[in-house]
Structure formats: structure tokens, C-alpha cells
Chains A and B, each alone.
Chain A
């Protein structure tokens, strides 16, 4: 049975397992209809021109995990940013693991989507925010239809959350092939500040497909700092849909570090509904054999005096494919917008491919918008310089590549993440250098 049919027919069963009277029932039903009508995206669609899901979708994924595998903290410690104190929301095969998690209701809500969807005290938030900015495209709809579990984070007004929140999804390989659809909702109140780290990690060689949707609402003057660490196994594929709605003077930053996984698609959408908003999205992609990373970004400038900054660096080795499709839309009311977009790439192998399409759509005249895109190699004279000073070729190459991607790390606010990423870069480049020295 095709995955699409399987999903559509599983929907009824799914609805029965959860509360059918829940307020999101209608939303789910609409969403599955939407998905049924559209199906999985194909390469014929402009947004999926360079990314084909076929190789992933042919797996016979089980849609509901049957039982929860248990994990010991010591076995998975390496996937945590463990050297800092943090709130943790941990899922194993799509099910919440209270054992590994550390949630809170003390002044802020860091808890579960399932709780938020079912408990009356969250009803107001769910009514106001749930599925309000997620687009109606087929994959987001699919997630909406099956939305049951994920992270729910609500920060009220004037709160600086003192420690970061880690959201980690593990898959253990209890099933031959598993499809996960986590759904996250993050609402950050006026003047509040939160840092979130998200990771999807497969612990098995059985194929997994994650179709995740995260909705983030940054209210007035809120600061949201979001880190996505993607360094998954070759068996794991990820479709990550993130939607961020910003109110005036808010700041939202999303850093995406893509170092692994079979197929990774990041749909990152910013909507600026207010003045003097700042949006930042940055990414480092270092991939190799048969890996595919696709960054699809949208910044929608709707009101005046806003800024957006995009900076994506990519290093592509072996048979890897990189895609960057960045779109900046400036509405005619959005005067005095400053929008910058940069996408720089290095191809290391002749078999690697990079497809990039930085798009600007501008309807306002008093704006400063630019995009730059380069594809090139390391500077041979710089290599020569380093080697003439006794640095071996491999290390010299590593240093130059690190320097190439380094400025993305400048805006990372958590030092532990910075050093973790630095180590990962060294590991990916196959050199043993502590770049942070």
C-alpha cells in the first residue's frame, strides 16, 4: 500500500485513539482532506524542483509506534547539550519519556502538546494559536491531521527563561520503519526571552521519516533563539516545517546546523506582523556521501522598518546534494525594509551538486535588499600559505573550511552550543583541531 493511502486510512483509527470531541478535531479533519487532495509533493512543484521524496517514501513506514523503547541516559547523553542545566522534553519513538525529561509549570509552561490539546486550562491558547500560521501545504497538513504529541512551550509576559529548553526526539528502531510527526507550539509573551535547542536523533539503522511542524509566536519585544542540530544517521530523513510569527520589535533567530541524515528538508518561514522586527536565519551545512540537504526559507516583510538577515554556508563532499531556495517578499507597505541574504557554497567533490535559487520579490521602493550567492573552492594561495608554514594539507583545508563557515557561529548565544558545533565541524572535516582555541 502506498504511504499516502496508508496515512489516509489510518486517520480514522488515529482519531479514535484520541478524544474526538477535542476542539482541534475539525482542524484535523480539514487537514487530512487537504493532504488527501494534494498528496506528497513531487518534483513538478516549483518548491520541490530539486528535492525528490521518492527514495524515502518507498519505505513501508508504520504510522503509529506500538511500544516505547526505553533508553538509559548514559547511552544517549552524547546527544544532549549535557554540560548546561536545561529543561528537557524528550520523546522516544514519538512517545514522551518522563524518565529523561525535565519539564516545568513553574511560572512558565514547558510541557507536552498532548496535555495542551486535552486539558481545558490550555484551551484559550490552543484556540488562539494552534495551526494559525502553519501553511496548508500537503506536508504541514499531514502533520496537522496527526498532531497529537510534541513540545508545548508557553512563556507568559516579562519572563526571561533562565535556562535553555532542549527538545529531543529519539527513534530506537523498535519498528522496521517508522514515521514520526511531532507537533510543537511555542508561544512567547511580551518582553520574554527563551532559548530552545531541537534535535532529531535516530539510534538505529532502520529507516525513519520525521515530518515535524513547529509554530512559534513571538509577541511584542520577545526574543526567541532557536537552534536546530541535525546530525542524524544515514537511515533518517527529516522534513522540518517551522513557522514563526513575529510581532513588533521582536527578535527571532534560527540557526540550523545540518551535518547528516539521508534527506533533510528545512522549510523555514518568517512572517513579520509588526514594525521594527528583526529576523535572523543562519545555517551551516556540511554533508557527504549520498546526503541531501534542502533549505527552503521565506521571509515575508509585511510592515515597515523591519530587518532580515540570512546567511547559509554549505560544504558538499562525495555524492551529496545541497539545495538552497531562499525567498524574500517585501510588501508595498513594508517601506524601509533591510533584507540581506547570503548563500556561499564549496563543492569538494566532482560528484556533489549544488542547486541554489535566491529569490527576491519586492513591491516597495524605499528598501535595501540584496542577495549574494557564491559557489567556489578554497583559495589555493591560502592553502599554499598555510602549508608553507608547516601545516599539513588536510589540516590546512580544515582550517580554511572552518574559517569559511565560522561567521555563522558568531551569533550563537550559548557557548556550549558553539563549542559543540565547532567539534562537530572538525569531526565532519576529518581533522583533529580545537578551532575554539
Chain B
């Protein structure tokens, strides 16, 4: 094969179109554009929510009105007009299906294209799906298996009706309504999302997963996810998303709250592939997400993310290590191409004694994109023997992109041990030469190097997800990942 150089790769990256850019035409019931108290009430009513929930939303809306959009992130974009967005959209054929045959065939075809055909999933033991198209949960599988173990896995709107005591107790405890601009907005208008409760001592037998899609023109998605792992339980939760190709900017402001009670463990993995905009930087999804987990005694929360999509990403999955001996982990690969901008990272707040956190962040920038890591490691005065290790590596392809690192480290306890290192590099000619010398052609060599670069994070993904993550990396950096 002829010589494959980095220039070729760059050329390929430039021309690579978004593969999953298709649009499913399902009749949707959509609210008029704009946001006011009535819309918030209407959403709540539509979802047949109890009074306390409506009040909770209104409270968030009141706070939101007083807040201004944050500007500290290292991203530039045209601010969305929050009055030009429709805050609710539900697929029209909404009955709850008993079997998969009843599901809208067009919808099924959509899933097929995404490689998540439901019937196949049903046969392949392991993954239960709570599929979200736009904002309403349409199909839920494996519910019986989970129910046997006492695991509650349903859409959050169902949970509000069926398990109000759990939702009421935990919602907003990790990400309060007034946490930030987008979290407040989400709290006011969230349409749906997933709810998961693992009872005491139960080890969830399968990976739980949801797929999010933005489907209706001009509809912002405001997902709310709440995962509660009771004492001594374990759950691995997968979240992945692809969105149709669209010219106008779409807003996605989700909130994810994880609560790991004593001795519990939550593993939360995300593959994010929202539409990144065209090669000219037109369109693309704005992804402003608030994700946070709370660890009680001996608990562990592990965030793994593969970020390949979105025009603008603003996302900091964080851990509050409240309990003694709790552990927080963050593994991230962020790939930006063309005009994408990503400002992502994590916060590790050490409050308890003997708490540990690990941060591994890999940024790959190509084209004219900007990729930032922004992280905070905070050791409070009472967090004896806290331990943190952070590593941020950036790989630059071409000299029109940028890589930025903004690590904040605040330590108020002398027994803390903090290590932070960051490197920036390109694919070395000597590395490629070394591979060539041993009979590996340049394309494979680049694949090998990028793969090796992100391996630490890819390894952390559950088996079921690793394949998809690989696929998404391929789309974003075709030719560089084997």
C-alpha cells in the first residue's frame, strides 16, 4: 500500500461526513416555543406529576430566571435563544408496548441503524434498554429480570408516579436546582430520563443502558437521570447517544445525579456522539451537561466517557467524596475535529478521610477544533490521607487546533498526596518510523499509536460498550483507529 501520512489522515478527517445523520419522521406532539411559568406547569401536568414536583420545577424556574449563562468556559458559540426553543416533544404513538412488535417500525429501523436493534438486544443476554426517543421512554426491556432482584429501572416520569418517596428523597440532593444555569433550566423543564434504584446488597446482573436521541426539529433535550445504589450494591450504567444531522443548533442540557450509599459502587459509562456540525462548522449540538455523583462511606463512583460529538461540549462529571474511604474515578477520551469545541473535565471534592481519586483524561484535537481539560481537585481540611492522581494527555493533529489544560488544585490538608501531570504531543515521526521499520504500515502505525494513547480509558469501558466506543472513534478519526 502506498505511503499513508498524517496529511492523508487529516484530509480524511476533513472529508469524513457524519455517518449517523438521518432523521426519523415520527409525528410529534410539540409545545409552542418559549419558556415561562405556564410552560413549566404544562410540562408537569402533561407528565401527570404530583404537586410537589410541579412546585420543585417552579422553584428551579424562579432561580433560573435570575441566573446568567456562564462564560468562563473556553468555548465560543452563539448563545441559544431560550425563548425560541420548544420545551416538550413526545412521540405521538405513545402506548406502552407489551412486545417489541408493537413498536413503531420506523423507530425500530432507527435503532437498527444505530446498531441497537431491540430484539437482538433481548436475545443477547446482559443489556436492558430503556430507550428514549426524544423525551419520552418508549420501550423498556428486561424489566421482569430486574424486578425479581428488586431493582427499579424505569423512566423518571414513571418513577415520580410509582416511587415518589425515592425520587423526592434524592432528586436535587447532588445537583441542586440552583447549582448552575443549565442545571436550573433542566430542573425546571426536564422532560424525561432514567431512574434506577438498586436495593441493599444487590449486584445488578446486567449492564443498564439508555440511548438518547434528539429527534424533533428545534426541540431541546432536557434529560434527567437519577441513579441510586443502596448500601453494598453495584450497578454499571451505560449511556450513549447519536443525533441526526441538522443545520440549526440544538441544545442539550442534561443532569445526571448518582448516589452511592455506603459500600456501593456505580460505574457510569458514556459514549457521546451528538451531531458535531459540518466540516464548515455549521450546526451541531450544544451539549451542556451537569453530572455529579455522591459517595458515602467506602463507596465508589467511576465515570468513563468517550466524547466524540457535539459542536460545543461543556461537561464535568464530578464526584463528591463525602464518606470515608470513598473512591472517585474519571476516565475520559475527548476527540474534537473540524470546528468542534470541548471544555470538559472533572471535579473531585475530597471531604472524607482516606478518599482516593484518579483522573485520566485524553484529548485528541484535529482540524480547527479546540479541546480543553478543566479539572478541580479539592482537599478539604478534614480529608486526612486523601490521594489524587491526575493525568491529562493531549494529542494534536495539525497546527490549526488547540489543546488547553486548566487544572485547579486546592489543598487544605497536609496529609494529602496529589500528583498531576499533563503532556502535549503529536504522533512522533520516530514512533511511526519504529513501526514502519518492523513492517507495520503508516496507517496501522497511526492506528496503533492513537489506540495506545487512549487505551487506558477504552479499557475501562464495559465490554458491551467498548465495541461501540471503538466505532465512534473510527467515525471521528477514521483511518487512525484500527
Contact = CB atoms under 8 A, between A and B. Distances in A.
Interface stretch (B56-64, B395-403, B474-482): B395-403
A370 to B, nearest CB: 4
B420 A359 contact: no
Contacts of B426: 365-367
A374 B420 contact: yes
A362 B413 CA distance: 32
Contact of A371 (B400, B408, B413, B421): B421
A146 to B, nearest CB: 33
A377 B407 contact: no
Contacts of A366: 399, 426
B412 A353 contact: yes
Interface stretch (A61-69, A76-84, A343-351): A343-351
Contact of B422 (A335, A347, A360, A363): A360
Contacts of B394: 360, 362
Given A355-B410, A361-B404, A377 B415 contact: yes
Contacts of A362: 394, 396, 402-404, 424
B92 interface: no
A369 interface: yes
Interface string B406-419: 11111111111111
B52 interface: no
Interface in A55-95: none
Contacts of A348: 414
B411 A371 contact: no
A363 B424 contact: no
Nearest to A353: B412
B378 to A, nearest CB: 9
A364 interface: yes
A411 to B, nearest CB: 22
A377 B418 CA distance: 10
Contact of B418 (A46, A351, A370, A374): A374
Nearest to A371: B422
B425 A368 contact: yes
At the interface, is chain B mostly helix, strand, loop or mixed? strand
At the interface, is chain A mostly helix, strand, loop or mixed? strand
B404 A354 contact: no
B238 to A, nearest CB: 32
Nearest to B395: A365
Interface in A304-360: 332, 335, 345, 347-360
Contacts, number: 117
Contact of A365 (B396, B404, B407): B396
Contacts of A369: 423-425
A375 B409 contact: yes
A373 interface: yes
A313 to B, nearest CB: 15
Interface residues of A, number: 36
A351 to B, nearest CB: 8
Most buried by B among A349, A359, A377: A359
A50 B411 CA distance: 12
Given A371-B422, A373-B419, A358 B403 contact: no
Contacts of B396: 362, 364-365, 367
Interface footprint category on B: 20 to 34
A286 to B, nearest CB: 15
A353 B411 contact: yes
A335 B400 CA distance: 12
B414 A332 contact: no
Contacts of B412: 350, 352-353
Contacts of A373: 407, 409, 418-421
B403 A360 contact: yes
A371 B405 contact: yes
A370 B421 contact: yes
A396 to B, nearest CB: 17
B462 interface: no
A372 interface: yes
A354 B381 contact: no
A360 B424 CA distance: 9
A353 B421 contact: no
Contacts of B397: 365
B72 interface: yes
Contacts of B423: 368-370
Contact of A347 (B403, B407, B413, B425): B413
A192 B187 CA distance: 65
A5 B309 CA distance: 51
Given A350-B413, A355-B408, A375-B411, A363 B399 contact: yes
Interface string B128-139: 000000000000
A370 B422 contact: yes
Interface in B78-119: none
A358 B374 CA distance: 11
Interface in A264-294: none
A376 interface: yes
Given A347-B413, A347-B414, A362-B396, A46 B402 contact: no
Nearest to A366: B426
Contacts of B407: 357-359, 373
A186 to B, nearest CB: 32
Contact of B410 (A46, A353, A367, A370): A353
Contacts of B409: 354-357, 373, 375
Nearest to B384: A350
Contacts of B413: 347, 350
Given A350-B413, A362-B394, A370-B422, A357 B406 contact: yes
Nearest to B416: A375
Nearest to A363: B402
Contacts of A356: 408-409
Most buried by A among B401, B408, B424: B424
Given A359-B404, A360-B405, A365-B396, A377 B422 contact: no
Contacts of B400: 332
Interface in A237-282: none
Contacts of A374: 417-420
Q: 4 closest A-B pairs (Cβ-Cβ)? A: A347-B414, A365-B396, A375-B418, A373-B420
Given A348-B414, A365-B398, 18 more contacts: A332-B399, A347-B413, A350-B381, A350-B415, A355-B411, A360-B403, A360-B404, A365-B426, A366-B399, A367-B425, A371-B422, A372-B422, A373-B420, A374-B417, A374-B419, A374-B420, A375-B418, A376-B417
Interface of B: 72, 381, 394, 396-426
8 contacts: A353-B411, A358-B405, A360-B422, A364-B399, A373-B418, A374-B420, A375-B409, A375-B417
